[in-house]
A and B are shown apart, each in its own frame.
Chain A
Amino acid sequence: MAERPEDLNLPNAVITRIIKEALPDGVNVSKEARRAISQAASVFVLYATSCANNFAMKAKRKTLNAGDVLAAMEEMEFERFLEPLRDALEVYKKDQRGRKEVSEQKRRDKERKADSENDKSREEEEEEEEEEQQRMEEEPEEEAEEEEDDN
């Protein structure tokens, strides 16, 4: 997948919002400053990734994990990020577990429903077959009974 230059940029609207929330009320931010901060953020991601990857490689792992990223922050002298990052990760993981449980429960409910419908329709088929038999034994001019739909 070819990467166009703009793909490595972060969305301007979100960056602007984060900047505004960090600054005191009423402070303006020049367009040039906004663009520069956005570029700086992309560079930050690259720098953090490279740094975290070094830790992973040292541990002979091919997958970057949370510990690598936290170690990178310390290495880059952003220790002040460590506590908020750990807190955020805790909430994130709880949220992910919750979502996983909800989707698994939904899947189980779906299977249960499908099973009970299979049983029901099998019963209906057997009833239909019995009635067919009866009708064939009776006079052919009789109209077929209308069956009610249970659903």
Chain B
Amino acid sequence: SENKTEAKAISLPISRVRLIMKSSPDVSSINQDALFLTTKATELFVQHLALTSFNNRSQTEANTLNYSDLAKTAEESDTFHFLTDILPKKILAQDYLKSLEQMQDEDSDF
């Protein structure tokens, strides 16, 4: 059936995915089916992350998927929460400096 034809085709190179998997400690060997499934799952993940982030974007009028949309999704979603370290929310340097000043003021009150 046509759905199945779409389902089988993968675009990501299995060899590259295998390289990443092998860099994981304690992994001795990976069978061919597991390799295929991980590759396919990664593609599904990319689609899911992109679409979820786009749908949750704060600038709803914008027609662009931005980095901030991804960071927002990582922070607010349970399933994507494991990404918060690599997708941190960004703040403007001036805002950071301001909050630093505030903290220093609070300290000086003692």
**Chain A: residues with CB nearer than 8 A to chain B?**
3, 7-8, 10-11, 14-15, 17-19, 21-24, 26-30, 32-33, 36-37, 39-50, 52-53, 57, 62-66, 68-70, 73, 76-78, 80-81, 84-85, 87-93, 95-96
Contacts and interface: CB of A to CB of B under 8 A. Distances in A.
A39 B6 CA distance: 25
Given A15-B46, A36-B87, A87-B4, A57 B26 contact: yes
14 contacts: A18-B46, A21-B47, A24-B54, A28-B64, A37-B50, A40-B83, A47-B82, A48-B42, A63-B28, A66-B31, A78-B48, A81-B44, A84-B7, A88-B40
Highest count of chain A CB atoms <10 Å: which of B19, B41, B48: B41
A63 B30 contact: yes
Contact of A27 (B16, B41, B65): B65
Contact of B31 (A21, A46, A64): A64
A36 B65 contact: no
B33 A92 contact: yes
Mostly, the A contact residues are helix
What 8 A-B pairs come out closest when comparing CB atoms?
Answer: A91-B8, A22-B47, A66-B33, A32-B67, A28-B64, A69-B37, A88-B7, A62-B28
Contacts of A24: 54
A11 B96 CA distance: 34
A45 B47 contact: no
A85 B20 contact: no
In which size bucket is the chain B interface? 35 or more
Given A23-B65, A27-B63, A46 B29 contact: no
Nearest to A57: B26
B50 A53 contact: no
Nearest to B67: A32
Given A28-B63, A45-B21, A92-B8, A78 B38 contact: no
B17 A29 contact: no
B60 interface: no
A8 B19 contact: yes
A35 B23 CA distance: 21
Contacts of B21: 45-46, 49, 64
Contact of B23 (A8, A10, A17, A93): A8
